[in-house]
Each structure stands twice: as C-alpha cells, then as structure tokens.
Amino acid sequence: MSDSSRRTFIKAGMVGGFAAAFSKLTRAADATVHLPTPSEIEGPFYPITPQKDKDFDMTQIEGKSGVARGRKITIEGRVLDTDGQPVEDATVDLWQANAAGRYRHPHDPNPAPLDPNFQGWAIVQSGRQGRFHFKTVLPGAYPASGNWMRPPHIHFRVSKRGYLELVTQMYFEEQELNESDLLLMRKSEMERQGMVARRIKDEPETYRYTIVLQKL
C-alpha cells in the first residue's frame, strides 16, 4: 500500500470511529432524555370537593373577581413517549397546595389559611406536539411530620389510552428543601432530574416540565 493510500485509509478509519462514537453518545443522550417519568405516591389530598372550574388558570376562580395570593408562575409542559414522540390528547390532572402550603381538602391538618381565590385543581389536555400549560402560584412548603417539611411541589396524574397511567410529583429547581425531602431523596440522581421543573423565564416567571409516558 502506498503512503498516500495508507493515509487515506487511516483518515477514513478515524472519521468512521468518530462517527460511531458520536452516534453512541447521541443514543445515550436520547435514552436519558426519554426515560419514563418516575412515579410517586398520590398523597392524601387529591381533591374530593366538587368544583366546576378546573381550567388552566388556577389563580382565579370563575365567577369571582379576586386573585389568588402568592407568587404567580406559569408551567409550560409537554407529554412525550419513551421514543420521544409527542402524546396528544393526554389528560393532565393536577393539584397542589396554595401559597401558604394548604390544600383545599377537608382532611388537611395544616393550620395555614385557605385561599378562597385559589382554584387548586386543574384538568387540561395535551394539544399539538403534546404541549400543555397552566398558570398557578408557587405552592408553599408545609409540614408532613414533626421534622419533615415538604418542598414546593405539584401533583400530576397523566393518562391516555394505550399508555400506563402516571401519578407523580413535580418539584422546582433551586429549592433548598428538595435536598431533605424524604420522597425525592428516595430517587436516584437521574430520576430526580426527571421530576424537577426548570426555570426558563423570569418575566413572567415560567418553568418547563416534560412528562414521559410508557406505552402498554
């Protein structure tokens, strides 16, 4: 083999090796991005009091002029499957505590005040490209036991025919109480990454959260 041919052969081998390595890294990254969202307990405060208003704006209740107390935030969400494909028309059922850490539930023992203008519960559908959004307030932390404070979080139940129903909890990045939460700390580092919403905008304060469902 001539020197010129040898150099061409070596260069082709290097390019092929780099391409294979890049492909492997890309597949690994995709696998990480599209791991199913970890499940979590539903908790004891799923709403049981009937309400007509379950729309995407939880900061106001239909028929009332008041606005919920607390830090207003927007969640931009997306529902995907494990192949990274959008899941349209999934039912996204969500509920949370108000800004003071109190659920609108008759069995919540937290003495924090209820907010008569906070909706607290919404059911929305994922639309084109699996997207959904809602407006709410940053939920307050609250005591789960004598020495356990739960960090701000939102509960989700996501379902669509052909997929495993998912019940999970979404947390917020940069919350100090995340590091000591007994539920969140049971998860692996990779699982925790899939349960934390990322802040993407300050005005209006907006978080992004991706939910990944498993097919049946």
pLDDT tens-place string over residues 40-76: 999 999 999 999 999 999 999 999 999 999 999 999 9
**Residue 171 annotated in active site:** no
- Report d(CA 70, CA 43) in Å as an integer: 23
pLDDT, tens digit (0-9, with 9 covering 90-100), for 158-203:
999 999 999 999 999 999 999 999 999 999 999 999 999 999 999 9
Q: Does 198 qualify as catalytic in the annotation?
A: no
Catalytic-role residue among 102, 105, 153, 209: 153
107 catalytic residue (yes or no): no
Catalytic residue (one of 102, 104, 105, 142)? 142
pTM (2 d.p.) = 0.84
Catalytic residue among 102, 104, 105, 150: 150
- Indicate the pLDDT class of residue 15, thresholds 50, 70 and 90: very low
User: Would you place residue 12 in the very low, low, confident or very high pLDDT band (cuts 50, 70, 90)?
Assistant: very low
Known catalytic residue at 133: no
Measured CA to CA, the distance from residue 119 to residue 134 in angstroms comes to 12
Dihedral angle of Cα 103, 104, 109, 113, to the nearest 10 degrees: 90
Separation in Å, CA 148 to CA 8, 46, 195: 65, 20, 19
Q: In angstroms, rounded to a whole number, what is the distance separating the alpha carbons of residues 32 and 14?
A: 27
Q: What percent of the chain has pLDDT over 70?
A: 85
Burial class (CB in 10 A: 0-12, 13-18, 19+), 99: buried
Active-site residue, 150 included? yes
Note the pLDDT of residue 2: 54
Strands 206-213 and 196-201: antiparallel
